Copies of this chain bind each other. A is one copy, B any other.
Amino acid sequence: MSERKTKPSSPAPDAPVPKAVVSRLSLYLRELQRLVRDGHDRTSSSQLGRLLGFSDAQVRKDLAYFGHFGHPGIGYRCDDLIRAIRKILGTDRDWPVAMVGTGNLGRALLGYKGFSHQGFRIVAAFDVDPQRVGATIEGVRVFHLDQLPEVATDHKIKLGMIAVPAGAAQNVADRLASAGIEGVVNFAPVTISLPEHVRQVGVDLAIELEQLSFSVVSRIAGNGGA
C-alpha cells in the first residue's frame, strides 16, 4: 500500500495513547483471535489492515505506541501479539464483574457469552425487585442491591455494569463507587457522575442509532458523513 513509502514516526514513549488507538487495539485483538481459531499462526500489518479496512502503516503505527512487535518481512506471531495486546488492555487477568439491573437488557447481558473470552466474568447480579432477588439467571445469582458492599468484597468485584432505568442510574453509580468498584459500563441513557478515580464507558444504543442516521442523511445530502 502507498503508506509503506513513509515510515510512520514512533510516538514518544510517555505520550498519552489516543483513545482511537486503544479502540483499534481491541479490533486487532478480535481479528488475531479469529485468525488463530482459523488455524493461522502468523499475520502481518497488511493482512490485519486489510481485514479491518485500515492501512498497514496505521496498524504498525498503532502498535508502535506500545513497543516493538513483529519482524520485518516475517510479520507477527499471532500468539505473541495476542498476549501483548491483552496485557496492554488489561485483559490478561480475571475481571469479576457486577451486573446491576436484571430487566430485559441486564438479562441479555447475563446471557451474552462474548465477555468471558476476554476475562470478564459476571459473578453477581443485583436488583431491588423482590420478585427477582434470590433468582439465578444464566447461572448468576441475583442479590438485593443493599448487599452490594459485602458481595463486592467477597467476590473481589472490580467492574460494574449499569442496566437500570435512567432515573435510577446515578444512585447505582454512587453505590458502585462506594463499594470500591474501579470501572463502570453505563447502559442507562443518562450521563452519570462518578469520583475521578472511577473510570466509565457509556453505551447508549439510541445514540448509536442516531450516529447511524446522521451518517445516512449526510450521505444522501452529499456532504460525506463519517
Copies held by the complex = 2
Q: How far is the CB of A44 from chain B (nearest CB, A)?
A: 17
Q: Which residues of B contact A182 (CB under 8 A)?
A: 216, 219-220
Tell me, yes or no, whether A215 is within 8 Å of chain B by CB: yes
Tell me, yes or no, whether A214 is within 8 Å of chain B by CB: yes
Tell me, yes or no, whether A76 is within 8 Å of chain B by CB: no
Q: Is the CB of B91 within 8 A of A204?
A: no
Report whether over half of chain A's contact residues are helix, strand or loop; otherwise say mixed: helix
Q: How far is the CB of A90 from chain B (nearest CB, A)?
A: 4
Residues of A within 8 A of B (CB): 14, 16-17, 19, 22-23, 25-27, 29-31, 34, 51-53, 88-91, 95, 97, 104-105, 107-109, 111-112, 114-115, 117-120, 158-159, 166, 182-185, 189-191, 193, 197, 199-201, 203-220, 223-226
